[in-house]
Structure 1
Amino acid sequence: MKAYFSKTIEEVMKEFNVSKGGISESQVKSHREKYGYNELAEVKKKSVFRVFLDQFKDLLVIILLIAAIVSMTTGSTESTIVIFAVIVLNAILGTVQHVKAEQSLNSLKALSSPIAKVIRDNQKHEILSKDVVPGDILVLEAGDYVPADGRIIENYSLQVNESSLTGESESVIKTSETILKDEVALGDQKNMVFSGSLVTYGRALVIVTNTGMNTEIGKIASLIETTKEKKTPLQVSLDNFGKKLATIILIISVIIFLLNMYRGVNILDSLMFAVALAVAAIPEALSSIVTIVLAIGTQKMAHENAIVKQLKAVESLGCVSIICSDKTGTLTQNKMKVRKIYTDDKIFNFDEFDLNNKIQNFLMNSSILCNDSSVENGTEIGDPTEVALVNLGKNYSLDELDIRKSYPRISEIPFDSDRKLMSTSHEVDGKYIMLTKGALDVLLPRIKYIATSEGISEFTSKDKILIENVNRGFSENGLRVLAFAYKEIKKDHILSLDDENEYTFLGLISMIDPPREESTKAVEDCINAGIKPIMITGDHKITASAIAKQIGILKSGDEALEGTELDKLSDEELKNKVENVSVYARVSPEHKIRIVRAWQEKGKVVAMTGDGVNDAPALKQADIGIAMGITGTEVSKDASSMILADDNFATIVKSVANGRNVYTNIKNSIKFLLSGNTAAILAVIYTSLASLPIPFAPVHLLFINLLTDSLPAIAIGLEKPKNDLLKEKPRNINAPILSKNFLKKILSEGILIAIFTMLAFHIGLKSGSAGVASTMAFSTLCLGRLFHGFNCRGDKSIFKIGVFSNIYSWIAFGIGLVLLNLVLILEPLKNLFEISSLNSTQFGYIYLLAVLPTIIIQVYKIIFKQDSASDSKEISVGENA
């Protein structure tokens, strides 16, 4: 790899045949053909066939295979065929799920692909980072991820965090100077930037030298393999429960095996039955169904503009009790528009600018020159506040590119959240001028002079009071105010922070970012859902309070705090005060973390929105970090667990509702699976202890396991949200899903199904045939579990939920009903599944006894309305096990 750090800027640009105006489209094409796309080579994925084979590694599947082989050697062909069919079908389902999961992951990668800003053919463009080619001129700014390796050709206080490559957490101060050495450690190549690092301060122009696998991070990528995705907390909890349950069931299976041997059943049949019982009783589909329901939930959220990066975020969303939201763009439209201007002791509207007035003309030009945004062909690039200033100029037929070409930028000090200022220097009419814009409270103490129509005069306390009063008046009307000032500097002077003083005051420009139409309703929904919305903004307290009152966040008795007031509070004082504060203004990144922690220490689950580099720590600290998809930096997106594609607060509220619904549906699916399995286990234990014939053939249990587990459970997971979902309080995130009350319901419903299954078994025994008894027990259990799927759709009666509101439950029921009847009627299937012939009366008993548990459960829900209320409370608030 070439040592570009030791080459001069001219040498590097000559090598790639490029100027600062960027490469041409024809060069882009030829460079892409030569170097390929700017992507890291992915680790070779498993083939579909390999994935299929991996499905047979499960211990229980191996036991089944052994049992099938033994069965085949003893001549039990039917059992062997059914066992193999079940195993292969489960393997196919597992393979399909794996492939679909990969497809979803690829879609998510495409959605979250970073954007790069490049200059091509003298125009600034935003492109996907994979489309960057060697020779491209990158425009890097604070908050950007560096998409490729490159040599810095213009540097404006650039600082880059390269910890992903070097392990050093401190940002590296960059330079454009040539390093006159042949060998330099990566961390000391200060005139280079590297793919995967992130810009934390300043800006720069960079010529791309290496892309894809030729980058420094590409070298690392070639040596490592991708990490596996972690399981969600819910999955871990269920896996632990499943292991304990499996141990108990295996013990029961061993006992049943020994009992059957004691009663004279041959060893093979006893072994086959014990294995089949274990496989049927253990809900091995539980983890897969949870994943499927979560994945479906994330897809639904994606359609509603919420891109969930981590499945665990879906679970946590249902627990959110605090939403700390930025104001700009999230609660408001993020379409800043200039409204009022103050200069030369005059206040006037945005459409009353007089460009013939020297001071007003200078203020207009300053707002465009001290500005990094642009509007090209209707596409707005940059901060909304700066875009508003550019659009103000366009209202007067002023083109920002022409003005910037006439007065080119010489040097600059970029804006940052600590200083709250931005400064640039230009040559204007033969003089060298430093222009600064920023927050009035920061700029005002640095003012020494004031520009008036009568000339430049000393800045007096009277001037200061007048400007502060004007600013307060603007802010009280919800306007955001930017102050502008300037000073003369020496020729070729490079700006530093020490220069930001002794200014001449120029004027104030105020803007408004009106609330989104849906924000008021979303805030109301939050409050009804037991969620406290909090506004955290960099705006003035007065401005923030005006918007917060308008949309319902700041109510009577609530407080608004500024960052300076927050600094005076200890952590303990903040914790005691935090419940009464609804608006935080003029805050720093450290303040945001303190606010989040204060709520977390009070046991609340906090969602936090952010879009800037400085928001990343708070996004990481929050239980749910939510980045802005439109205005958000790559750093904030990387730190978050969810991205709002539309930057809309209302989307967060929808996501909370979806999160609550997903959790409820998962819980109902678990209830269905475990109560049905409990019924099967109790039936077998009862017959074994009562010295009765075995109620189920092994193929019966395998059939039930295949038929009555997955489809109805997934259908329950697709249940639509209740209308009153956002009227419930958030659930406790630490409450176990399998509480004592929940397990009591599972056991009671399992006992109910088992009782009627055994009634069917005894009716069959009266006919004098153990085969008929087994067939009736199998059919009743199978059909009873299918009916039970409707009970598990929710805590209320199916008539209140809506009999036909979940079409998937009816499809799952219909498929199960058809397959069961085919097995009971068709002779080839009867032989395969060891089914005895039944008369019409026995069929009637099966249907009656199978539906009775569901009728009893539904009547109970209708009569005992307090049970529904308590169930709803249990799901939404959480259980104490």
Structure 2
Amino acid sequence: MSETFFNRSAQETLDELHTSPSGLSTAEAESRTKTFGPNKLSEGRKKSVAVVFLEQFKDLLVVILTIAAIISLLSGESESTIVIFAVLLLNAVLGTVQYVKAEKSLESLKAMSSPVARVIRDGARLEIPSQEVVPGDILLLEAGDLVVADGRILENFSLKVNESSLTGESESVDKTADAIPSEKVALGDQINMVFSGSLVTYGRATVVVTSTGMGTELGKIASLMNQTQQRKTPLQTSLDNFSKKLAVIILAVCVVVFMLSVFRSHMPVLDSLMFAVALAVAAIPEALSSIVTIVLAMGTQKMARQNAVIKDLKAVESLGAVSVICSDKTGTLTQNRMCPQKIYADGRLTSCEDYDLTNDAQRLLLKIALLASDATTDENAGTSIGDPTEVALVQIGDSFGIEESTYRSQHPRLRELPFDSDRKLMSTLHELEKVPTLLTKGALDVMLERSNWIYTTDGILPMTDEKRSEIINTNRSLSEEGLRVLAFAYRELPGVRDLSIEDENDFVFVGLISMIDPPRPESVQAVADAKRGGIRTVMITGDHKITATAIARQVGIFEDGDIAVEGVELDAMTDAELDEKLPRISVYARVSPEHKIRIVDAWQRQGRIVSMTGDGVNDAPALKKADIGVAMGITGTEVSKDAASMILTDDNFATIVKAVINGRNIYANIKNAIQFLLSGNTAGILCVLYASLMALPVPFAPVHLLFINLLTDSLPAIAIGMEPSRRGLLNQPPRNPKEPILNGSLLKRIVSQGLLIAVATMAAFYLGHQTGSAMLASTMAFATLTLARLFHGFNCRGDESIFRLKFGTNKYSLMAFFGGVLLLAAVLFIPGLNTLFLVAPLSMTQIGQIILLAFLPTLIIQIVKVITDRQHGSVVTGKATLSDD
């Protein structure tokens, strides 16, 4: 940008953009959208479909298959070569389709969590998607906002902006609305501009948008979410490492099989090599990584439908191991819909329904409440914009027919000191009856320290210890009812001037207004469900300890024997003292960002997986520190959303518990899919090893193994990955994150079930071999192994028997079974295909033997499960209470 751009007045900027402080008209905004396009940054260089398709052929499996195809071609088996290349092509097409679908899925998730912007158009304040912002829009910024476009500051109220995304400097920069000297421009000190991608950390400002999208200083820098797009999850990395180790073992087995085939079975070397390669293809669970990806993708889509947008796939895995949820109170456990309840003024406590505007103290209290607030409401549309606490204050005025915007125009704001969590106050300067008056609202403890006077109908009186005690006791009684209390005061100034925090002293105390944010009805059940699942819920809030404890007791977080502590008490504890008291502390009140990080760290020291919720700028460090950072999608700032790994689009605590259930279910489904794939592969390996050791003909042709491994295996495995959540998941303790996915019990099941299928397969082989036809024996073994693995898909749906799981609860498993049966039938009976897949004709008796032997392993496994169910009193199944779609 040129020097002259920065060294100009606000009016010159507006003139160049042909707009005004009242904002663009809707028609002009639409016209500029067509001219400038949507306000989007480049999302990086995406791979073309052709490149993605070609990348599918880089896999180790593809190399092995290609070798197998070449060997098959050299041995004169052109049919096998055709089958192998057809399978490779099909696999590449499916992989490409999956990539394209994943890209679309990511786009939809980005859209759900993309920022919104507050603008002025046609003189009205609106909230619009950030991509609809155009040059000339009047942008309203406040603490916590992500700047969505470059702009020139028109009005500045103590604005500080973090521009680390642009400059790399982590410290916030002070901004001004003044034109800057040319020598400052040379130094790059562009303090009268804000830039896209920067974060507002303090104050607020009015900005005219000068450029959007690719025209901004960030230009082609990718959006924040793109950083996680290509990253593999720990589970995928673990499975990839496991697959590599397994591949080495299997290749060693294949060498043994090759040697036995050549020297004991006297099979031709080329045929032996072809068979060994095919065995490697069959034994390596190459579908495992893609199935894990599919299951995770399905899980994230389900969570998105249930209002939990997953930004980082690692969160899906970690969710299943969460054992502590540190939850904010406002909007998460409560409705974030403050309703005015009681007021205290002139020494009297009354309900808001009995508000008396003829009382001077109560009238002044309402005046301060309306003027020292920024919220607006539209009674006709039933909508409101602003902080819920300030909305409740405006609602009091609405009940008397007082239009806040009209009232504020009669008493315009001359200066202000924005709310600050350290000061716990907000002050605005107005002229009331031609006297410059500072109106202040904030926390009672801070306000009382700064109040030397009290307003009554008898006049302004000195603040005595007796009056101070009366106010404190009133505040305590209101807080014990779970009410949030704000204090209001004023101070007359000698003239209109710039304000400083030193002005917030020597107040005249006016009164209190209390309001309630009622608990969400579903929060009580969600906290109970979390407790049943072995998950500890802790409330961390900036509210007063008494108020927080009252709400925590209502929702079931705080019980007899529990402790509530404030930030100052936490500061006084050593780490050892905190570790000792940690299990009994259920409520943390009046905490700072540093306290939140310390609380999370204390739980993590005890080996717990911690989820932390937050919505403000000051929550971001703790969200990053937690294993699962959860941001609020409705009330959350863009800073908190950027720091989090999951965003709640409904700001509801119950959604976190749903996500935990889904996380546990996804992990269980992945384990079950692994059990299915590896037990089936084990059966194939055992059959080949047995035949080689006994000098029998090979039980399977290479095309048989390819058919089983690449077609009939994938369908049941994906269906297993889509098994619905069940209530039993909440009756189990959280998963130990250090436990390997292939633990001892899973390995035992894989080997034992694989052995059962292998025995049934070799029994079919012997029945066919009795006729003297090696081809018939191979056909019966192939058909039995394929069908047995299709039946086995039902065994791997869960730990309970199929009678408890019910056939109809997972329609995909039925579809996968019948799809696999149809594919097998096509290979066995359709002329041309039976020749291509080297299968012999089967009699009805032999078909019956195949079906019986294939079903026998599943029958045995199900009998064992039924006995186990009865012995252990298996839990009631069905969809989990909180995870229904």
Residue by residue over 1:9-50, the C-alpha shift from the partner in whole angstroms, topping out at 9 and shown as x without a partner, is: 121121112222112223323332332221113334333233
2:841 paired with 1:837? yes
SS of the equivalent of 1:184 reads helix
Write the distance in 2 (CA, Å) between the matches of 1:148 and 1:869.
Answer: 60
Is this contact kept in 2: 1:329–1:647, CA < 8 A?
Answer: yes
**Corresponding position of 2:185:** 184
Write the distance in 1 (CA, Å) between the matches of 2:417 and 2:777.
Answer: 87
**Corresponding position of 2:150:** 149
Is this contact kept in 2: 1:159–1:202, CA < 8 A?
Answer: yes
Is this contact kept in 2: 1:861–1:867, CA < 8 A?
Answer: no
CA gap 1:32/1:838 in 2 versus in 1, 3 angstroms: closer
2:653 paired with 1:661? no
Write the distance in 2 (CA, Å) between the matches of 1:579 and 1:63.
Answer: 54
2:215 paired with 1:211? no
- What is the identity, as a one-letter code, of the residue corresponding to 2:832? P
The equivalent position to 1:434 in structure 2, one of 429, 434, 438, is: 438
CA gap 1:665/1:778 in 2 versus in 1, 3 angstroms: same
User: Bigger CA drift: 187-196 or 213-222?
Assistant: 213-222
**Corresponding position of 2:883:** none
User: Bigger CA drift: 40-49 or 378-387?
Assistant: 40-49
2:98 paired with 1:94? no
**Corresponding position of 2:468:** 464
2:111 paired with 1:110? yes
Write the distance in 2 (CA, Å) between the matches of 1:187 and 1:730.
Answer: 53
Write the distance in 2 (CA, Å) between the matches of 1:651 and 1:682.
Answer: 46
Is this contact kept in 2: 1:771–1:835, CA < 8 A?
Answer: yes
2:304 paired with 1:302? yes
2:698 paired with 1:674? no
In the TM superposition, residue 221 of structure 1 has moved relative to its aligned partner by: 5.5
CA gap 1:219/1:816 in 2 versus in 1, 3 angstroms: closer
SS of the equivalent of 1:694 reads coil
SS of the equivalent of 1:21 reads coil
SS of the equivalent of 1:41 reads coil
The equivalent position to 2:734 in structure 1, one of 730, 734, 746, is: 730
2:822 paired with 1:818? yes
- What is the identity, as a one-letter code, of the residue corresponding to 1:111? M
2:160 paired with 1:164? no
In the TM superposition, residue 388 of structure 1 has moved relative to its aligned partner by: 0.4
In the TM superposition, residue 225 of structure 1 has moved relative to its aligned partner by: 9.7
**Corresponding position of 1:45:** 46
**Corresponding position of 1:696:** 700
CA gap 1:102/1:658 in 2 versus in 1, 3 angstroms: same
Identity %: 62
SS of the equivalent of 1:701 reads helix
Write the distance in 1 (CA, Å) between the matches of 2:229 and 2:672.
Answer: 29
Write the distance in 1 (CA, Å) between the matches of 2:474 and 2:850.
Answer: 83
Write the distance in 2 (CA, Å) between the matches of 1:549 and 1:16.
Answer: 56
Residue by residue over 1:263-287, the C-alpha shift from the partner in whole angstroms, topping out at 9 and shown as x without a partner, is: 4323332232222111111111111
SS of the equivalent of 1:355 reads coil
SS of the equivalent of 2:787 reads helix
**Corresponding position of 1:772:** 776
Q: Show the 5 A alignment for 1:358-437.
A: 358-376=360-378, 377-437=381-441
Matched residue count: 872
**Corresponding position of 2:234:** 233
**Corresponding position of 1:55:** 56
- What is the identity, as a one-letter code, of the residue corresponding to 2:65? L
Is this contact kept in 1: 2:68–2:278, CA < 8 A?
Answer: no
Residue by residue over 1:420-471, the C-alpha shift from the partner in whole angstroms, topping out at 9 and shown as x without a partner, is: 1111111111111111111101111111111111111211111100100111
Is this contact kept in 2: 1:676–1:750, CA < 8 A?
Answer: yes
**Corresponding position of 1:20:** 21
The equivalent position to 1:863 in structure 2, one of 862, 867, 878, is: 867
User: Bigger CA drift: 251-260 or 788-797?
Assistant: 251-260
Write the distance in 2 (CA, Å) between the matches of 1:845 and 1:676.
Answer: 20
- What is the identity, as a one-letter code, of the residue corresponding to 1:248? I
User: Bigger CA drift: 48-57 or 603-612?
Assistant: 48-57
In the TM superposition, residue 707 of structure 1 has moved relative to its aligned partner by: 2.6
Write the distance in 2 (CA, Å) between the matches of 1:238 and 1:618.
Answer: 30
Write the distance in 2 (CA, Å) between the matches of 1:162 and 1:697.
Answer: 64
Using structure 2 for the length normalisation, give the TM-score.
0.96
Write the distance in 1 (CA, Å) between the matches of 2:410 and 2:445.
Answer: 31
Residue by residue over 1:811-830, the C-alpha shift from the partner in whole angstroms, topping out at 9 and shown as x without a partner, is: 11111112212222223221
Write the distance in 1 (CA, Å) between the matches of 2:685 and 2:538.
Answer: 51
Q: Show the 5 A alignment for 1:194-209.
A: 194-209=195-210
- What is the identity, as a one-letter code, of the residue corresponding to 1:142? A
**Corresponding position of 1:879:** none
**Corresponding position of 2:315:** 313
Structure 1 residues not aligned, in runs of 5+ = 877-881
- What is the identity, as a one-letter code, of the residue corresponding to 1:299? Q
In the TM superposition, residue 7 of structure 1 has moved relative to its aligned partner by: 1.6
**Corresponding position of 2:277:** 275
Write the distance in 2 (CA, Å) between the matches of 1:470 and 1:451.
Answer: 16
Q: Show the 5 A alignment for 1:868-879.
A: none
Structure 2 residues not aligned, in runs of 5+ = 881-885
Residue by residue over 1:200-248, the C-alpha shift from the partner in whole angstroms, topping out at 9 and shown as x without a partner, is: 11101111111111111105569x9977521111111111101111111
Is this contact kept in 2: 1:682–1:754, CA < 8 A?
Answer: yes
The equivalent position to 1:338 in structure 2, one of 337, 340, 343, is: 340
Is this contact kept in 2: 1:331–1:519, CA < 8 A?
Answer: yes
**Corresponding position of 2:30:** 29
In the TM superposition, residue 405 of structure 1 has moved relative to its aligned partner by: 0.6
**Corresponding position of 1:846:** 850
User: Bigger CA drift: 372-381 or 188-197?
Assistant: 372-381
Write the distance in 1 (CA, Å) between the matches of 2:598 and 2:18.
Answer: 51
In the TM superposition, residue 383 of structure 1 has moved relative to its aligned partner by: 0.8
Write the distance in 1 (CA, Å) between the matches of 2:258 and 2:873.
Answer: 44
Is this contact kept in 2: 1:306–1:645, CA < 8 A?
Answer: yes
- What is the identity, as a one-letter code, of the residue corresponding to 1:832? L
Using structure 1 for the length normalisation, give the TM-score.
0.96
Write the distance in 2 (CA, Å) between the matches of 1:291 and 1:732.
Answer: 22
Q: Show the 5 A alignment for 1:468-507.
A: 468-507=472-511
**Corresponding position of 2:267:** 265
In the TM superposition, residue 595 of structure 1 has moved relative to its aligned partner by: 1.1
**Corresponding position of 1:245:** 246
**Corresponding position of 1:518:** 522
- What is the identity, as a one-letter code, of the residue corresponding to 1:275? V
In the TM superposition, residue 870 of structure 1 has moved relative to its aligned partner by: 10
Write the distance in 2 (CA, Å) between the matches of 1:107 and 1:185.
Answer: 42
**Corresponding position of 1:616:** 620
Write the distance in 2 (CA, Å) between the matches of 1:611 and 1:215.
Answer: 27
**Corresponding position of 1:588:** 592
Write the distance in 2 (CA, Å) between the matches of 1:238 and 1:198.
Answer: 38
The equivalent position to 1:567 in structure 2, one of 564, 567, 571, is: 571
CA gap 1:388/1:2 in 2 versus in 1, 3 angstroms: same
Is this contact kept in 2: 1:796–1:868, CA < 8 A?
Answer: no
Write the distance in 1 (CA, Å) between the matches of 2:663 and 2:222.
Answer: 35
SS of the equivalent of 2:808 reads coil
- What is the identity, as a one-letter code, of the residue corresponding to 1:130? Q
CA gap 1:125/1:256 in 2 versus in 1, 3 angstroms: same
- What is the identity, as a one-letter code, of the residue corresponding to 1:110? A
Write the distance in 1 (CA, Å) between the matches of 2:189 and 2:729.
Answer: 56
Residue by residue over 1:386-428, the C-alpha shift from the partner in whole angstroms, topping out at 9 and shown as x without a partner, is: 0000111111111110111111111111112222111111111
CA gap 1:34/1:800 in 2 versus in 1, 3 angstroms: closer
The equivalent position to 1:783 in structure 2, one of 783, 787, 790, is: 787
2:556 paired with 1:552? yes
SS of the equivalent of 1:575 reads helix
The equivalent position to 1:803 in structure 2, one of 799, 802, 807, is: 807
In the TM superposition, residue 778 of structure 1 has moved relative to its aligned partner by: 0.9
Residue by residue over 1:297-338, the C-alpha shift from the partner in whole angstroms, topping out at 9 and shown as x without a partner, is: 111111111111122211111111111111111111111111
Write the distance in 1 (CA, Å) between the matches of 2:870 and 2:320.
Answer: 23
In the TM superposition, residue 844 of structure 1 has moved relative to its aligned partner by: 2.3
Is this contact kept in 1: 2:341–2:352, CA < 8 A?
Answer: yes
Is this contact kept in 2: 1:166–1:186, CA < 8 A?
Answer: no
Write the distance in 2 (CA, Å) between the matches of 1:678 and 1:187.
Answer: 66
In the TM superposition, residue 568 of structure 1 has moved relative to its aligned partner by: 0.9
The equivalent position to 1:792 in structure 2, one of 785, 792, 796, is: 796
